[in-house]
Amino acid sequence: MHKKVAVILSGCGVFDGAEVHESVITLLRLDQRGAQVQCFAPNIAQHHVLNHLSGAEMPESRNVLVESARIARGAVKDVREARVEDFDALIVPGGFGAAKNLSDFAFRGEQCEVQPDVLALAKAFAAAHKPIGLICIAPSMAPRIYGAGIECTIGNDAETAAVLTRMGAKHVDCTVDEIVEDHHHKLVSTPAYMLAQSIAEAASGINKLVDRVLELA
């Protein structure tokens, strides 16, 4: 029986949306493993728009759902349409969009909040004891989803790990090609581009995460 997986995107582009490589690797691996996938994104304005060539902020507004459609080839739905009972697992790729659009971790650190529609869906998966995979900086949302004591990784950046610890998470250092699993909560995380120096390095951990999430589903 094919597993059904929801993937939450946060826009399109590493600096203000979903990390494109991480998102595509995730979708590719899920397809290779025979999973049925539906992408979702919140129907909200991006925090800001950055020029990915120069890094400069651009004087325009973009919608997270509309931008996510670039990665999903149009096949993306408003996250408010997602029903936990329709899926076996949830995966969230990284990119600054996870910390700027899906949450405000990039700006408020340990005082951050997760976008309400995203938080409601993630909490529903957690309550149903269905596996969740969080990639790159997306594990910064884990303490808000699961509460204190959740085990996760963003790699080995001491400053970011310290913020997660203050939020109540139990951070576990992890290499780019490995995963960290909180067995009780069925949460799987991997550093990806928090550490990766190439797309192949990013894929090494993401593929393991996808495989493990599907095993847990």
pTM: 0.97
Each residue of 150-192: pLDDT tens digit? 999 999 999 999 999 999 999 999 999 999 999 999 999 999 9
Does residue 1 surpass a pLDDT of 70?
Answer: no
- Whole-angstrom distance, CA of residue 7 vs CA of residue 212: 15
The CATH code of the domain that includes 98 is 3.40.50.880
pLDDT at 96: 97
Active site residue 136: yes
Percent of the chain with pLDDT over 90: 100
- Provide the pLDDT for residue 186: 98
Q: Region 95-118: what's the mean pLDDT?
A: 97
* pLDDT tens profile 13-66: 999 999 999 999 999 999 999 999 999 999 999 999 999 999 999 999 999 999
How many structural domains is the chain composed of?
Answer: 1
Mean pLDDT rounded to a whole number for the chain: 97
Among residues 12, 39, 112, 136, the one annotated as catalytic is 136
Backbone angles phi, psi at 188, to 5 degrees: -120, 135
CA 3 to chain centre: 19
- What residue numbers bound the domain in which 112 lies? 4-216
